[in-house]
Amino acid sequence: MIDPAALPSLHASHGGIWLREGGRTQAIAKGMAIARAAETPTLLLNAPLTGQRLGYPELNGLDLLELWAFVHPARFLVPTPKGLAEALGLERPATEADIPQLLQNATAALLATLESPTWLEREGGWTSAQSLHRLRWPWAPLIAPRVARPAEAERWLFSRLPEWEETPPRPAPRTISLDEQAVLDQLTHLTGSGAEARPGQRAYAAAAVESFRPRKHRDQPNMLLAEAGTGIGKTLGYLAPASLWASQAQGTVWISTYTKALQRQLDRESLRLFPDPATAARRVVVRKGRENYLCLLNLEDALQGGFAGRAAILAQLVARWAAFSKDGDMIGGDLPGWLPTLFRRNGSTALTDRRGECIYAGCPHYRKCFIERSARASADADIVIANHALVMINAARGRETGQRPQRIIFDEGHHLFDAADSTFSVALSGQEAIELRRWVMGPEGNARGRRRGLAARLSDLASYDDEGGEAIRAAADAARALPADEWLKRIVAGEPFGPVEQLLAAVRGTVYARAADVGEADAGYGLETELAEPDGPLVEAAHEAALALDGLLRPLTRLAKRLEAVIEDAPDWLDGAARARIEGAIASLGWRRDLIAAWLALLARIGGPADGDFVDWMTVDRIEGREFDIGIHRHWLDPTRPLAETVLKPAQGVLVTSATLKGGGDWDNAESRSGATHLPQRAQQFEAHSPFDYAARAEVLIVTDIKRGDIAALSGAYGRLIEAAGGGTLGLFTAIRRLRAVHARIADRLARAGLPLYAQHVDPMDTGTLIDIFRDDPRASLLGTDALRDGVDVPGHSLRLVVMEGVPWSKPTVLHAARRLAGGGAAYDDRLIRARLAQAFGRLIRRAEDRGSFVILSAAMPSRLLSAFPPGTPIRRVTLDEAIIAVSAYSLAGLGDGMALGLQGIQSGTHDLERK
């Protein structure tokens, strides 16, 4: 067998490149590293990231992350040398030059695990290794000899997965009233008897009882708006009454979040409720949209030849993971977020149901389906952890109508407006239209894949019911009016085919004509224009497109009626599985019919009167000058109106909570952005301020000598501030272009000082993995955009400095302009900006012992916006040099003696580099 110590190992960072072979490690140049990696299999850690550092994106080798995914599927790993060393119990590398040897040692440890009798993930390993060997996976020659052949043939994945069972519908929850003292006792149980007393948390839990009282009036839930500052402990504060109500009433409480990070946190907190993991898995269920879960039928297709090359290897590793996964969640679950990025996401999206093509009981894996299991488990759960969009969709058009959320807690409630805005919007675009065509027609021409059209999914109906079969054929004929493959090429070439492509061509012409008037057409980014005063060709094209869409809606409506008739007549072949499949088809048809109806309403607007409830506009979506979509968009001017009608009014009790619920305004702002203003009676209110001593533990520094638009000065400021803090910096940008420019200028410089720098939209890793790396290394820093402003929870010294490039002004879009006009003009803008500042500042202090600095690199920061920060927080306008001194002092004060000495050394070294 091959000795791992005989394999060359390579590590590349912004600080240098090191190669180890023949027992010796040496620093080498990029060209030599690329050549050596191309000559012989080389040990790497995260090949895409290493390739980026070398300027050779197609770099391949023996990636230890792939080996980890085989040996320990569904186990968490921070994908860094430090994370790998800690996971395997190896000595952490003292310098980057020690990392190549660590890679050899880690390889030896992982391969030794394969031969160990205590290897927990042995089941299926031999069969998987043989399949990977046939696919020429680079690790296969090292793995295959070490995985012993089992005495009996291993069961295939699809026979190993457990089946879910049908259960009778759950009775309606009992009508009860919670005792406030019992809730406080439950809170004490959850926090532990020795926990620090938190009066704010106890007051919060007592106030939350209101949301669980019996409802008194129709269309009026018991609604509480609760702003609880960071550190109150609101998670356990609402889990106490929620868990008690679920237990006593025998009902389900839906806890909705906006970010996956909070979903993971809530899932971990559930162990406080149910310390036994098996009980917790049954009583607390995480629910997400269908597109998040592994589709077993897609996986089977991939394993049986549907994928080729590297995508086929990914499918095998995903199959290994599926056998040990908790719930089959591929996005934010226990599948390592870094795994799809190792394969440049080649094939990962095809393993989920992103097009709504599920055939339900017609699937041979229906009884093992992760999605169906999750849906059924949530029916009997005490707590369902979901996201805002899923709760809204489930309430509005969910297939499980018996599971409509009745008791809802919206955590991260300040995002409720944005989630409703996205959920209840409509877009008639080329991408959306071609997806509808594919859903109806299935594969066309020489197209490959598992895609199935209506005829394939409902073939038994077509053979049994002549009218239903005719409706399917008529729908397929009508769908030919929708855009087909290469629709965008034809439009750009001036050769659109069909009425919808003609409409999109007219939209494109109008957008470019009007964008040119304001000098935007050559900017290279997305273009948009208000849907107002349409010209004749656009009106005519809209009319013809509407006729075509109406021609598709009619047969889909007939088909839905025939499906309903089949269920009522119940022919002999309609067993339980067939019934479930047809019911699923009825639901899917309902969603598509609703979509087409919304498109028709939008097209009726073109050439007709405007509807004051909506904002309509046209777009040409581009990335760096390359067009990728064209569309017409409609959003509610106030999306909380449909939120109130479909989600709030049918509910019994609703708690909307956040640390920044008022969003930089007053309670009127909280009510308007949560939908409470559309209820017959006002919601109750609760407020608890953060217990943290911001006056002593934080400061806000507004740097006044950085010229707007000066990338060199901006980069220098970021670099010097990160050095002053010794890492631990979260940098926030409003534009990806500026983020990339700053990263390119400072990454090498910081790396030479021993300060790793990572960045969204630069490093080939998902956001969750970047946050995991940042949290794990106190010397690392992370640059990002809006996604990091409100979804990062990094307590401790790993985050001691937040830097914003400037005031987070709103982008001047058509939608924003309309809402600004309706919402009070400049005051509306100020509320949004104060909310963004408060959310960003909230990343800094997560525990009582945390301390840090919040820096804004903009002299134009208006004083009226400073109320976004907690009362008592010191706020100073300073020069960059003064800010660096302050940040350095704050960082040293927050670190222990040993780390402080190390930081002083880093700062001294970087100052020497600057002098040289």
Please state, as a whole number, how many other Cβ atoms lie within 10 Å of the Cβ of residue 540: 16
How far apart are the C-alpha atoms of 592 and 441, rounded to whole Å? 14
> Closest Cα partner for 871 from 730, 686, 666, 691?
691
Long-range pairs, 550-555, Cβ under 8 A, ≥24 = 550/600, 551/478, 551/481, 552/440, 552/475, 552/478, 552/479, 552/481, 552/482, 552/596, 553/593, 553/596, 553/597, 553/600, 554/474, 554/478, 555/471, 555/472, 555/474, 555/475, 555/478
In 807-874, DSSP assigns E strands to 852-856
The SS3 call for residue 20 is strand
* HSE-CB of 270 using CA atoms within 13 angstroms: 24
pLDDT score for 210: 93
Do the beta carbons of residue 84 and residue 38 sit within 8 Å?
Answer: no
pLDDT score for 400: 45
How far apart are the C-alpha atoms of 696 and 851, rounded to whole Å? 8
Task: List, in order, residues 6 or more apart from 753 with CB less than 8 Å away.
Answer: 723, 906, 909, 910, 913
Do the beta carbons of residue 412 and residue 259 sit within 8 Å?
Answer: yes
Please provide the DSSP assignment of 232-269 as one string. Answer: S-HHHHHHHHHHHHHHHHT--EEEEESSHHHHHHHHHH
List the strands of the sheet with 626-636, edge to edge. 426-429, 626-636, 614-623, 527-530
pLDDT score for 576: 67
> Closest Cα partner for 849 from 742, 739, 706, 693?
693
> Closest Cα partner for 48 from 260, 322, 310, 303?
310
Joined tokens for residue 249: 């009433």
How far apart are the C-alpha atoms of 258 and 245, rounded to whole Å? 24
Burial annotation 846-882 (CB, 10 A radius, 16+ → b, else e):
beeebbbbbbbbbeebeeebeebbbeebeeeebebee
**In 25-152, which ranges are continuous DSSP H helix?**
30-39, 47-54, 64-71, 81-88, 99-115, 125-134, 140-143
Q: DSSP label at 168?
A: P
H or E segment at 490? helix 487-492
How far apart are the C-alpha atoms of 621 and 603, rounded to whole Å? 20
Q: Could you identify the residue written with the tokens 């994908």? A: 79
Helix axis angle, 711-725 to 736-752, nearest 10°: 50
Please state, as a whole number, how many other Cβ atoms lie within 10 Å of the Cβ of residue 752: 15
> Closest Cα partner for 322 from 342, 346, 341, 303?
303
How far apart are the C-alpha atoms of 670 and 828, rounded to whole Å? 13
Q: DSSP label at 644?
A: I
Which residues of the chain fall short of a pLDDT of 70?
1, 345-347, 356, 397-403, 445-451, 460-463, 516-524, 571-577, 791, 893-916
Please provide the DSSP assignment of 354-395 as one string. Answer: -SS---GGGSTTGGG-HHHHHHHHHHS-SEEEEEHHHHHHHH
pLDDT score for 33: 93
How far apart are the C-alpha atoms of 720 and 888, rounded to whole Å? 10
- The phi and psi torsions of 325 (rounded to 5 degrees) equal -70, 150
Q: How many contiguous H segments (helices) and E segments (strands) does the chain have?
A: 37, 23
How far apart are the C-alpha atoms of 36 and 142, rounded to whole Å? 20
**C-alpha dist (Å) from residue 601 to 5, 482, 507, 546, 839:** 67, 17, 17, 9, 37
